[in-house]
Structure 1
Amino acid sequence: MPNTTTMNRAPKTARIRARATAVVTAGLCASVALTGAAVAAEGAHADVFASQTATSLAEATQAQAQAQEKAADVAEKKAAAQAAAEAEAKAEAKEKAWVTPISGDFALSATFGNSGDRWASTHSGQDFAVPSGTEVHTVHSGTVVKAGGNGAGDGPAYGNAIVIKHSDGTYTQYAHLSKVEVKVGQTVSTDQEIGLSGNTGNSSGPHLHFEVRTTADYGSAIDPMKFLRDQDVSI
């Protein structure tokens, strides 16, 4: 006779094991599902973060570029303003300065006060021995008051000449020129070319005759070398 207790017990054990397996399987499935969802959520978050980072980087880069461009513009304007100020200061300093009438090489020949057969009285200026065609420059800024042949009104002995009035009330004369490049009434700056040296008038050879005067006319000359040295001109 079969043992009913044994027969009934075995199926029960199998049923318990089957249930446990089902529970474990369901748990694993749920765990896998949750893990997948978490991974998917993390991936989505990462995509959003990456997108936000790229946008932020682009905005930061653009802002940096704009800041650099603005800084460069400010620096450029500052440099331009400084250069303009320096140029203006240099120009002002130049206008206040006095220079020699010949900027290149020259030899000093007849000096102020010399006497002899070449002059009706004593020599009224300083001669700069240079080849004809040498550039002649004004020693200081001023206004042309005389210009042309016949000594610009001072007599044929001077040949072609120029007389310039300066702001301190003195006048300078440039004579024996081969060419006059300025006109009466014209404003000239310090060291501006005003003519070319020559051998016109009562001249024994090409040179520039230079005078410093107290008036625009002949007869008021003073020692030009002393005057220039008093103005800190190295000559």
Structure 2
Amino acid sequence: MLKRTKSHRPGPSMFRTRAAVIAVGLGASAALGAGVSVAAGDAKSGGALPGVAVNSVQAQAAAQAKAAEKAQKAQQERAKKAADAKKAAAAQAAAWVDPVNNYTLSASFGLGGSMWSHKHSGQDFAVPVGTAVESVHGGTVVKAGPNGAGDGPAYGNAVVIKHSNGTYSQYAHLSQIDVRVGQNVGTGQRIALSGNTGNSSGPHLHFEIRTTPNYGSAVDPVRFLSSVGVKV
């Protein structure tokens, strides 16, 4: 009679035990993997607050940096404009200009003749009546009015301006005076309109450079203007 041999196949209880162990292991791995994933996500977020997307924070930072750069450029442009304006004002204050534009030179300084009791004391600029007369340099009006502003009727309406270098400029035969005594004027500022008042043979501006505000102290105005960079 043949003997039956016992089977060495594991029984149902052993299969269940192994399955339980494997399930526990997989669960632990899943839990560990999730933890690693969360930790990695926190590292990428750079410590961002919960609910705030990383891209949103980066976009805000970029926008703020761009706004700051724009504000800095605007400030630099304002500073440059202010510096340019200051430089232009300083250049204007230092400059000298012609007393009128689009002129023809007529009687010159030192010319003799019956028109003057002494030699001619200035330079005449032939221009039509009503031509704008400008201050050749910044200064203060010390004389303005008829009768040569006190220098005599031969000058007609006249203006005298004192300049910072101690010289005086005089403008005569004017048809209109636009400034008053004590007024500060800038280089190239309109001070009057040319005319034909006083002892004048035709419309023109009589212009002098003086060492004092009064008649009798005139120097050659063309030579003086040339010394300060104005070619007449």
Identify the TM-score tier after normalising by the shorter chain. Answer: 0.7 to 0.9
Percent identical residues: 48
Which residue is 2:91 aligned to?
93
1:73 Cα offset (Å): 4.4
Distance (Å, rounded) in 1 between the aligned partners of 2:188 and 2:19: 106
Name the count of aligned residue pairs: 228
Which has more radius of gyration? Answer: 1
38-47 vs 189-198, greater mean Cα deviation: 38-47
Distance (Å, rounded) in 2 between the aligned partners of 1:66 and 1:21: 64
1:129 Cα offset (Å): 1.5
Distance (Å, rounded) in 2 between the aligned partners of 1:166 and 1:132: 26
Which residue is 2:191 aligned to?
194
Deviations 1:26-80 (A, max 9, x none): 3432343234323433444355445536666666665565555555545544443
AA partner of residue 160 (structure 1):
N
Distance (Å, rounded) in 2 between the aligned partners of 1:58 and 1:191: 59
- Is residue 142 from structure 1 mapped to residue 136 from structure 2 by the alignment? no
Deviations 1:59-114 (A, max 9, x none): 66655655555555455444434443443333233323322112x32211111122
- Is residue 153 from structure 1 mapped to residue 147 from structure 2 by the alignment? no
- Is residue 203 from structure 1 mapped to residue 200 from structure 2 by the alignment? yes
Q: How does 1:35-74 map to 2 (within 5 A)?
A: 35-49=29-43, 51=45, 52=47, 62=60, 66=64, 69-70=67-68, 72-74=70-72
1:173 Cα offset (Å): 0.6
Closer, same or farther: CA 207–33 of 1 in aligned 2, 3 Å: same
AA partner of residue 170 (structure 2):
Q
Closer, same or farther: CA 48–88 of 1 in aligned 2, 3 Å: closer
Distance (Å, rounded) in 1 between the aligned partners of 2:103 and 2:197: 18
172-181 vs 113-122, greater mean Cα deviation: 113-122
Which residue is 1:129 aligned to?
126
Distance (Å, rounded) in 1 between the aligned partners of 2:156 and 2:113: 20
Structure 1: where are the runs of 5+ without partners?
none
Closer, same or farther: CA 33–78 of 1 in aligned 2, 3 Å: closer
1:20 Cα offset (Å): 4.8
211-220 vs 144-153, greater mean Cα deviation: 211-220
SS at match of 2:19: helix
- Is residue 228 from structure 1 mapped to residue 222 from structure 2 by the alignment? no
SS at match of 1:173: strand
Which residue is 2:23 aligned to?
29
Structure 2: where are the runs of 5+ without partners?
none
Distance (Å, rounded) in 2 between the aligned partners of 1:206 and 1:45: 96
SS at match of 1:178: strand
SS at match of 2:149: helix
SS at match of 1:112: coil
Distance (Å, rounded) in 2 between the aligned partners of 1:145 and 1:123: 22
219-228 vs 113-122, greater mean Cα deviation: 113-122
Closer, same or farther: CA 13–95 of 1 in aligned 2, 3 Å: closer
Distance (Å, rounded) in 2 between the aligned partners of 1:189 and 1:92: 11
SS at match of 1:92: helix
1:163 Cα offset (Å): 0.8
Distance (Å, rounded) in 1 between the aligned partners of 2:164 and 2:201: 33
Task: Decide which structure has greater helix share.
Answer: 1
SS at match of 1:37: helix
